[in-house]
Chain A
Amino acid sequence: MAKASGLKAKPKKGSDLLYDLKHNKFLMLMLLPGILFFVVFSYLPMIGILIAFQDFSAAKGILGSKFIGFENFRFFLGSPDSFRVTFNTLFLNVLFILSSMIVSILIALMLSEVNNKWFKKGTQSLVILPHFISWAVIGLLAEAFLSSDTGYINRMLQVFGMEQISFYKDAALWPGILTFLNIWQGAGFGSIVYLAAITGIDQEIYEAARIDGSTKIQSIWYITLPLLKSTAVLLLIMSVGKIFNGNFGMIYALVGGNTLLYPTTDIIDTYVYRQLMELGDLGMSSAVGLYQSVLSFIMVNIANWITRRLSPESAIY
């Protein structure tokens, strides 16, 4: 420790750490539990990546199991499942990201047009509410609407003399249903950030535009939307980084083990889970998990690279 202060001219690697240990003991102590947490629950499990290259058996452990190179990956990438789950993950996420972004912005725009405080607070409370409900609960709510015999929608169709729809047997309907549910659950919550950005815009700009004879729609189109662009781009880039991470809770709750719906709803995350819990294939499950991590890692870097070119101050690193 004495060394660090003595060698001021040549800052050594790690000298920051020594400096902090000496001068910021209290702050370092506060960091300790958090760092310990990330080491145990995030960094140590990263060793588990090795399992992806093994014919893993729990009895032998990571050290004892046989290494088989890229065999697990070859098996997964060679199966027709790999394209299906990758495509579904990507396709559903693109639908989710774009649709909820558009609806979030629309809600924020509409909320900003409301002057009545009571109406504004009331509607805002209601549109945010579904965000606080777990997917398990949403799954059960969806069931009340979609089931064939007692479901609300099918009863309504019956009233109007229309044919029933077997929602839980028709895979083609599900990208739409999931997108709707995703908007229902998250768009209101997502609007909070946009509304904050709109509220932060200088009111004098609008006043000036109004004097020049601009209508409200023109003001939104030429003033509000351009000013929301940076917020929207930042959030978009952050979600692009997570585009290969499917929403496991959502799919598991709404689709579960319904194999009829797999063609459009089976995602990488549910596939990994099935390999692990139902088939007990740890090596394969790890390999698919790693495949997903690598894809995500590439996406994050691409997204960050684009951000740095567009607006360097919002880049993540």
Chain B
Amino acid sequence: MKRKIYFGDRLFTIICHVLLALFALICLFPFLLVISASFTDEYTLLWEGYKLFPSKLSTSAYQLVMQTSQLGSGYLVTIFITVAGTAASLLVTSMMSYALSVKKLKIRNKVAFFVYFTMLFSGGMVANYLMVVKYLHLKDNLLVYILPALVSPWNMMLLRNFFATIPESLAESAKIDGANDMTILMKIVLPIAKPGLVTIGLFYALSYWNEWFKAMMYMDKENLITLQYLIMKILRNINFANTVAGSVGVSVNVPTYTSRMATLVVTIGPIVFLYPFLQKYFVKGLTVGGVKG
């Protein structure tokens, strides 16, 4: 077989590589900048601005950050809700998704619509707030991070599609061999669905890890707020300082530039380190669950 290689094709491939590398670099650059800023000497940063290769290094920002009590409690709260929340969400979601993927369940389409409808229409921010605070009395309670976020309709649908790709004949032959629903689920379905479960688990873990809105709405106690809300609070102080910039230099509430960056690095660190190990799972899970055959 003869294969022509056009000059234009080679050029096109090169351009693709260059543009991709460029976009990847744009994605990476802010992280590098922040890491280097967190190791910069405070005055050097103020004098030279953010630089990839600062002239004077220092670890004092990290020493300062480690002494902040809120960071410690923030970490504990965030890890707790991420672990406990992901486990609870995964359990409830996978049970529901599995049941809705079994064809012999007659009401499955009605229940699917019941879930889908919640994506279209909601009572709104005020009603949710009243529900949580007035009726469930969850203000200043760690459960407020987990319960209202227990099942994401989107994740539930994704996982249901994933379960639905498992051939029904597998379950049927096990049934003939005398297995009950529970055994079929534990021994056959769950092991096959592992990539899907890991994907959904990762999505849940991320949304718990990145939670800040509920901390803002429902937490008055400082030691119960999440890491991300800590970042948000720092950010709000800066925003405030920006609007009045010029008249006031640095407000007392605003942490120093480098310790701000150190807080940021400490917050995103675990995700950035864990992420490469998990990537192959969710690319696979998302592809199977999201695209119809």
A-B contact count (CB 8 A): 293
Q: In whole angstroms, how far apart are the Cα atoms of A211 and B257 in the complex?
A: 60
Which residue, of A231, A248, A252, has the highest number of chain B Cβ atoms within 10 A?
A252
Chain A: CB-nearest residue to B48: A155
A292 contact set on B, CB distance < 8 A: 124
| Interface of B: prevailing SS | helix
Give the distance to chain B from A259, nearest Cβ to Cβ, in Å. Answer: 7
Given contacts A42-B122, A152-B50, contact A134 B264 (CB under 8 A): no
Q: B145 contacts the other chain (Cβ, under 8 Å)?
A: no
Q: Are A27 and B50 in contact (CB under 8 A)?
A: no
**Neighbour of A113 across the interface among B13, B33, B267, CB < 8 A:** B13
Segment touching B, from A76-84, A94-102, A140-148, A171-179: A140-148
Q: Are A140 and B291 in contact (CB under 8 A)?
A: no
Q: Are B95 and A30 in contact (CB under 8 A)?
A: yes
| Interface of A: prevailing SS | helix
Using a CB-CB cutoff of 8 Å, which residues 105-147 of chain B contact chain A?
105-107, 110-111, 113-116, 118, 120-131, 134, 136, 147
Q: Are A137 and B19 in contact (CB under 8 A)?
A: no
Indicate with 1 or 0, residue by residue over B45-78, a CB within 8 angstroms of chain A CB atoms.
1101111000000000000000000000000000
A114 contact set on B, CB distance < 8 A: 16-17, 20
Give the distance to chain A from B288, nearest Cβ to Cβ, in Å. Answer: 9
Given contacts A28-B99, A126-B27, A137-B264, contact A45 B127 (CB under 8 A): yes
Given contacts A37-B92, A45-B128, A193-B291, contact A293 B122 (CB under 8 A): yes
Q: Are A231 and B106 in contact (CB under 8 A)?
A: no
Q: A48 contacts the other chain (Cβ, under 8 Å)?
A: yes
A19 contact set on B, CB distance < 8 A: 106
Indicate with 1 or 0, residue by residue over A40-52, a CB within 8 angstroms of chain B CB atoms.
1111111111010
Q: Are B28 and A129 in contact (CB under 8 A)?
A: yes
**Neighbour of A139 across the interface among B28, B210, B235, B290, CB < 8 A:** B235
Indicate with 1 or 0, residue by residue over A124-144, a CB within 8 angstroms of chain B CB atoms.
111111101110110111011
Give the distance to chain B from A17, nearest Cβ to Cβ, in Å. Answer: 6
Indicate with 1 or 0, residue by residue over A174-205, a CB within 8 angstroms of chain B CB atoms.
00000000001000100011001100100000
Give the distance to chain B from A177, nearest Cβ to Cβ, in Å. Answer: 14
Chain B: CB-nearest residue to A48: B127
Q: Are B243 and A260 in contact (CB under 8 A)?
A: yes
Q: In whole angstroms, how far apart are the Cα atoms of A149 and B242 in the complex?
A: 10
B9 contact set on A, CB distance < 8 A: 215-216
Q: Are A24 and B104 in contact (CB under 8 A)?
A: yes
B181 contact set on A, CB distance < 8 A: 26-27
B131 contact set on A, CB distance < 8 A: 40-41, 44-45, 48
Give the distance to chain B from A223, nearest Cβ to Cβ, in Å. Answer: 14
Q: In whole angstroms, how far apart are the Cα atoms of A30 and B100 in the complex?
A: 10
Q: Are A38 and B118 in contact (CB under 8 A)?
A: yes
Q: In whole angstroms, how far apart are the Cα atoms of A47 and B115 in the complex?
A: 17
Q: Are B34 and A192 in contact (CB under 8 A)?
A: no
Given contacts A27-B181, A46-B123, A297-B120, contact A216 B12 (CB under 8 A): yes
Q: B173 contacts the other chain (Cβ, under 8 Å)?
A: no
Q: Are A257 and B99 in contact (CB under 8 A)?
A: no
B210 contact set on A, CB distance < 8 A: 133-134, 136
Q: B234 contacts the other chain (Cβ, under 8 Å)?
A: yes
Chain B: CB-nearest residue to A231: B291
List 23 A-B residue pairs with CB atoms under 8 Å apart, sorted by A's residue number: A24-B105, A31-B99, A31-B100, A34-B96, A37-B92, A42-B118, A109-B16, A122-B24, A127-B20, A134-B210, A136-B210, A137-B268, A140-B264, A141-B34, A145-B30, A150-B49, A213-B4, A215-B8, A216-B12, A257-B243, A258-B242, A260-B243, A300-B120
B binding-site residues for A, Cβ under 8 Å: 1, 3-4, 6, 8-9, 12-13, 16-17, 19-21, 23-28, 30-31, 33-34, 37, 45-46, 48-51, 92-93, 95-96, 98-100, 102, 104-107, 110-111, 113-116, 118, 120-131, 134, 136, 147-148, 150-151, 153, 156, 180-182, 206, 210, 212-213, 217, 228-229, 231-232, 234-236, 238-240, 242-243, 245, 257, 260-261, 264, 267-268, 271-272, 275-276, 279, 283, 286-287, 290-292
The 3 A-B residue pairs with the shortest CB-CB distance in the complex, in nearest-first order: A48-B127, A45-B123, A289-B124
Besides A136-B229, A282-B126, 6 new A-B residue pairs in contact (Cβ under 8 A), listed by A number = A17-B107, A137-B268, A140-B231, A155-B48, A300-B120, A314-B292
